Amino acid sequence: MSAPPMHTGIQLARTGLITNGVLALVKLLAGILGHSYALIADAVESVADIFSSLVVWGGLRLASRDADQRYPFGYGKAESVSSAVVGLMLVGAALGIAIEAVREIMTPHHAPAPFTLVVLVLVVAIKELLFRRVSRSAKELGSQAVAADAWHHRADAITSAAAFVGISIALLGGPGWEMADDWAALLASVIIFYNGAQIIRPALAELMDQSPDEAVFHSVEAAAQEVDGVLATEKLRIRKSGTKYLLELHVQADPALSLHDAHILSGKVKSSIRGAVPRVANVLVHMEPFEGA
C-alpha cells in the first residue's frame, strides 16, 4: 500500500535533512583543510538546506492536519508559508556568501587543495539525484514546499559545480589565480539568490489565492456540465490551499426544480467534480434558475 501524498513529502524532507547534515559536515571540513572558501560557502548553503528541510517538514506536517472549527478551510496554507520561508532563507544565505566572497577576493590566501575536487564531484552527483527524485514527487503531489526543497538540492549541486570550476582554475592557473575559488563562490551566491527568488514568487501567489492553470478550470467545468440536469455553469472561482483546491461554482438548473431536488443535483455536481479532479477538497455550489442563453 502506497504512502499518503503528504506523508511522502514528509519522508522526502526527512531524507533531505539527513543527507544535507552529512554533506554540510564533509564540505565544511574539506573546505577548511583544503583552503577553499567556495567549498566553505557550499557548506553554508547545505546548512541552509538543513533548516529549509526542517521548515518544509514542519509545514507539511501542519498542512496535513484536517480542517477544524478554528481553521474551517484546513491548514493547507502552511505549505505555502513554509515554501516562502525556504525562499527567504536561500536569499539570506546568498547575500551572506556574496559578502564573504568579496572579502576573500580582496584578501590573499592559499590555493585550494586538489582533494577538494573529489569531494565536490561526489556532492554534485548526490544532490542532483536528490533533486530529480524530490522534483518528480513534487509534481505528483502538486506541492510547492516539496518543489522548493527540490530546488534547494539543485542549488546545492550548482554551487558545488561552480566551486569545482573555480578550484580547477585556481589549481591549473597556479600562483596569482587563487582568487578564482572566491569568484566561484560569488557566482554561486548569484545562482542561490535567483533560486530563492524563484521559490518565493509562486509561494506568495498561492498565499494571495492566485487562480490555478486554465486546465483545472476546464476540467471542473466539464465535470459539472456533464451531470444530468445541469443546464449552465458560471462564476467559477478556484484557489489553492496546500496541495488541494477549494472552489465555488454557480450552477443553473430548471427553475421548476424543488429545493430538495436542487440540493440533490448540487451533491451530484460535487461528486462529479471530485471524481474528475481528485485534488479538489471542497466544493461550494450555488444553485440558480436557468434563464436561457
What is the grid cell recorded at 68?
Answer: 477544524
Locate CATH 1.20.1510.10 in the chain: 5-207
- Give the mean model confidence (pLDDT) for residues 219-226: 92
pLDDT of residue 108: 66
pTM of this structure: 0.69
User: Do residues 24 and 32 lie in contact, with contact meaning Cβ atoms separated by under 8 Å?
Assistant: no
d(CA 293, CA 286): 18
d(CA 266, CA 283): 10
Q: What percent of the chain has pLDDT over 90?
A: 20
d(CA 220, CA 209): 17
pLDDT of residue 2: 45
Locate CATH 3.30.70.1350 in the chain: 214-289
Residue-wise pLDDT for 167-190, tens only, equals 888 888 877 777 787 788 788 888
Residue-wise pLDDT for 41-100, tens only, equals 778 767 777 777 778 777 778 877 888 888 888 888 888 888 888 888 888 878 887 887
User: Do residues 67 and 73 lie in contact, with contact meaning Cβ atoms separated by under 8 Å?
Assistant: yes
Strand runs labelled E in 84-242:
232-241
For domain 5-207, which architecture applies?
Answer: Up-down Bundle (1.20)
- Give the mean model confidence (pLDDT) for residues 230-252: 90
pLDDT of residue 109: 64
> What CATH code would you report for 214-289?
3.30.70.1350
pLDDT of residue 253: 92
User: 141 or 273: whose pLDDT is higher?
Assistant: 273
Helices first, then strands: H and E counts in the chain: 8, 3
φ, ψ of residue 253 in degrees (nearest 5): -140, 180
User: Which of 16-20, 35-39, 108-112, 241-245 shows the lowest mean pLDDT across its residues?
Assistant: 108-112
